Amino acid sequence: MGILKTANQRPVLHFSPKQNWINDPNGLVYFDGEYHLFYQYHPYSSVWGPMHWGHAVSKDLTTWEELDIALYPDDNGTIFSGSAVVDWNNTTGFFPEQPGIVAIFTSHLGGSETSPTVQSQSLAYSHDNGRTWIKYEGNPVLTHPSNPDFRDPKVFWSKPYSKWIMTLATGQTISLYSSPNLIDWTFESEFGDGAGSHEGVWECPDLFELAIEGTDERKWVLLVSVGDNAELEHGSRTQYFVGSFDGSVFTPEHSDIRWLDYGKDNYAGVSFSDIPKEDGRRIYVAWMNNWRYANQIPSSGWRGSMTIPRTLSLRTSEGRTLLRQHPVKELDLQFTESVALPDLLLSAGKEFEFKAEADCADLRLHLERFEAAEFGIVIHHTGTDRTVLSYSAGERTLSLRREQSGDTGFSAMFPLPQTTEELGQLKDIRVLIDASSVEVFANDGLSSITSLIFPEKPLERLSFYSVGGQVQLRGGSVKLIQ
């Protein structure tokens, strides 16, 4: 079908670079009134290549200013994924006068016929809010004698144990290290043997503590991205573990595999460091793409974007402690129009249609009485392009279908349905629609589907339907950017 006009239009609600390639978010950190988003960036092409750290900042998590490249390749290699923290107490010695930001990243030296791939961890630091960087003269600070998969350091300060903790992707495991100063590292433990999904290489870990809603209890969450396996249908995706952490060892409390998202386009996500205590949120951003087709998506001049920043929390549901996701509240301020939907009683064979020509939309529905075999939402991009969300009462699952959503011919996997695990009765659903994406949050954020789409236009109208019975909708709304 070729390159569509919409694929060349920059998403309104999602960060994307002005030009060229982007993948994993890196170094998410809040400092001095700014949210910093660093990211894997290839400044010379719109396909993956030698990695740098791009840089953007925001004061509200929704409006981003793209800045100069932060980190360039050097003699230690290209600049792979990592994290950033504020060294409030000058543990490094880099900040004798006032706190600053330290970036901890993987230096990647590609292998050849005569030399192996080498991945090691390096530091850089900034005295001017991330605008310029000094690489530590003692780089690298952490190496491995033989493991070629030794990357993606995510670091946080553990106040109870008075040390920095690093989670590091080490092939099919996550290794934990500790340090008093971000420079000298000690191995603590290794997690992953017999736990979770091992369908692909483990990448981009993140370990943090969250409160369980409605209780005084707190638990630890470990995010682990699982790389693409060409033998499987879904490509790259992200799992999570809930458990405990004693300053050295992470111990999961469950043996089942728990996916962060059931769409195909949520990968390598990590959370912000140093969110102010009075805010208290754990805010997460992921790369909105899939390694199976990331280099082929139909765009021109630029390629790739991030998910909407999401607030993460824990909730106990049917005896399991599950991760919830909600778009950050700041997103509400971006919409220019809000329309309340009438209360609807959908009957089999009768659709309700709402005209909504817009660049972006935020649809929210509450389902009260559900007697149907199926309930669905159709996002009509044009007269022929459509994306369909449907809930099966028999399977108790939610599916997103994009085989008619526009350009799908660049990947055999792209048109395949995206379906949640069993999520119980569907009670509410929220759908964010942008120029080239749909993000779905169901049952108060306990299930999500993140999906790219490439229609000719973002949105012309919405329609709702039921099959095999009635569905009562109350208190629905649509927010629009036109």
Residues involved in catalysis:
24
| Residues 157, 87: Cα–Cα separation, whole Å | 9
| Residues 94, 30: Cα–Cα separation, whole Å | 19
Backbone angles phi, psi at 331, to 5 degrees: -60, -30
Q: Which residues are 151's β-sheet partners? A: 169
Pairs from 141-149 (Cβ < 8 Å, separation ≥ 24) = 141/182, 141/183, 141/184, 141/185, 142/166, 142/168, 142/177, 142/185, 143/118, 144/119, 144/120, 144/170, 147/119, 147/171, 148/111, 148/116, 148/117, 148/118, 148/119, 149/119, 149/201
Q: Are strands 302-303 and 20-31 parallel, antiparallel or unpaired?
A: parallel
| Residues 190, 24: Cα–Cα separation, whole Å | 23
Task: Decide if 221 contacts 196 (C-beta within 8 A).
Answer: no
**Does residue 140 have a cis bond before it (omega within 30 degrees)?**
yes
Q: Which of 155, 188, 157, 158 is nearest to 173 (CA)?
A: 188
Instruction: Specify the DSSP class assigned to residue 230.
Output: T
Radius of gyration of the chain (CA): 22
Burial class (CB in 10 A: 0-12, 13-18, 19+), 96: exposed
Backbone angles phi, psi at 329, to 5 degrees: -65, -25
